Structure 1
Amino acid sequence: MTEPLILAVPKGRILDEALPLLARVGIIPEPDFSNESSRALRFKTNTPAIDLIRVRAFDVATFVAHGAAQLGIVGSDVLAEFDYSELYAPVDLGIGHCRISVAEPADLAVKDDPRGWSHVRVATKYPHITRAHFEARGVQAECIKLNGAMELAPVLDLAPRIVDLVSSGRTLKENGLVEVEVIAEVSSRLVVNRAAFKTRATDVVPLVDKFRKAVAA
């Protein structure tokens, strides 16, 4: 019997948008998936051919790139940060829209002009994207890696600026920060392990096509 395909999905906001899309594709998780008190991480679906795993957004790319999962749903921000050669991203799912932006305290932004920067100190969970963005402009970026609570960095003098995901901008505003530069627009993609795309083509290719049709619909 063929092992089920494993589809890695991210916890949090993207998952809320992904579930209706999965339903259109014909993938319905078992009831325990919606049980917030459940500690399970791997779930059956209505089709024996597909299991779901629910992991952190940044870990989806790692699970799929290393073949622990064959497919996944992940933001283009994560793909750009890790740049795994083992990943193929055939479908923009049109969900999880946000942007990666540079932000700083509002009182600094009043007198600050990003065009005049030659060196920046930035707190971010995206050091690769951040350095590449600033290097392209001839700006040296000193990146301090954080995995969360980014908005605290300027308040506590860890770094005067941050690079982070922004959706509504409400969290920035509540912490006295403003966007001064957008680095990239972000949306979620269907990713496939390149080796699995070849070795399990009869299973993977039709599923990719279903996602493509669900997005187009």
Structure 2
Amino acid sequence: MKKINIALTKGRLEKEAIKIFEAMNVNVDELKNKGRRLIFNCKNSFYDINFFLVKAPDVVTYVEYGAADIGIVGKDTLFETNKEFYEVLDLKIGECKFAVASLPGFKIDDGYRNEYRKKKIATKYPGVARKYFSKRGQDVEIIKIEGSVELAPIVKLADAIVDIVETGETLRENGLVIVDDICNISARMIVNKASMKTKREEIMKIIEETSKIIN
């Protein structure tokens, strides 16, 4: 049995992923009582897995470079990367959507073809925003924001935002409305390309057992 290293996204996805692995009879006791440790060995007669917890963008990096054989990360993060890996499963957790939002009265198509001024779009996800507006044939100015993007239209930094929306409560509390839905997103399982060859039996078992749980 070859050891499989799995990188989990810290936070909400971590908790949901732990539930899936627990349902697969993976021993996740160390993950549930993690303290300050960085690596958690979960070994039984069926699996030998090392889990480690990192930020979402780092999951992709660890998988691409082979430090992790498998990663659990949101599709939103994958949209913003061009790194090399296999995307093998939609885990159907962490479900939400990308949307365009703004103050009431904003219309996506208003003035785009008749004004010289580009519309300004604030977002943490410039790749997603750029692709969306490009498909609509609209030349916009993308402003990268790391914090609360909802503030941008309110203080007139931007005309609208592209962001992840789960319940929409934050938008409503700040007087914003959804203008258009872009796409649904959820957590995905990704696999290092070399690991799929060298540890194929172990990885395929994890993929197959995970599929049984989520379907």
TM-score for the superposition, normalised by structure 2: 0.87
Match in the other structure for 2:115: none
Equivalenced residues, count: 208
Does residue 94 (structure 1) correspond to residue 92 (structure 2)? The answer is: yes
Does residue 189 (structure 1) correspond to residue 183 (structure 2)? The answer is: no
State the alpha-carbon separation in 2 of the partners of residues 164 and 99 from structure 1: 8
State the alpha-carbon separation in 1 of the partners of residues 72 and 56 from structure 2: 9
Match in the other structure for 2:172: 173
Q: Secondary structure at the match of 1:158?
A: coil
TM-superposed CA distance for 1:164, in Å, is 0.8
Does residue 41 (structure 1) correspond to residue 38 (structure 2)? The answer is: yes
Larger deviation: 173-182 or 154-163?
Answer: 154-163
TM-superposed CA distance for 1:130, in Å, is 0.8
Distance 1:141 1:28, change over 3 A: farther
State the alpha-carbon separation in 1 of the partners of residues 165 and 124 from structure 2: 13
State the alpha-carbon separation in 1 of the partners of residues 98 and 53 from structure 2: 23
Q: Runs in 1 of length 4+ with deviation above 4 angstroms?
A: none
Match in the other structure for 2:10: 11
Between Structure 1 and Structure 2, which shows a larger proportion of helix residues?
Answer: 1
Q: Secondary structure at the match of 1:159?
A: coil
The alignment yields a C-alpha RMSD, in angstroms, of 2.0
- Aligned AA (1:81): E
TM-superposed CA distance for 1:146, in Å, is 2.1
TM-score for the superposition, normalised by structure 1: 0.87
Distance 1:40 1:149, change over 3 A: farther
5 Å-filtered alignment, 1:1-217, equals: 2=2, 4-31=3-30, 33-35=31-33, 38-47=35-44, 49-84=48-83, 86-105=84-103, 109-110=104-105, 112-116=106-110, 118=112, 119-216=118-215
Q: Secondary structure at the match of 2:140?
A: strand
State the identity %. Answer: 38
TM-superposed CA distance for 1:185, in Å, is 0.5
- Cα pair 1:30 1:43 within 8 Å, conserved: no
Deviations 1:20-56 (A, max 9, x none): 111122223233x3347x3323212244710111111
Deviations 1:88-133 (A, max 9, x none): 111111111100111112xxx22x2212352331121111111011
Unaligned runs of 5+ in 1: none
Q: Secondary structure at the match of 1:20?
A: helix
Unaligned runs of 5+ in 2: 113-117
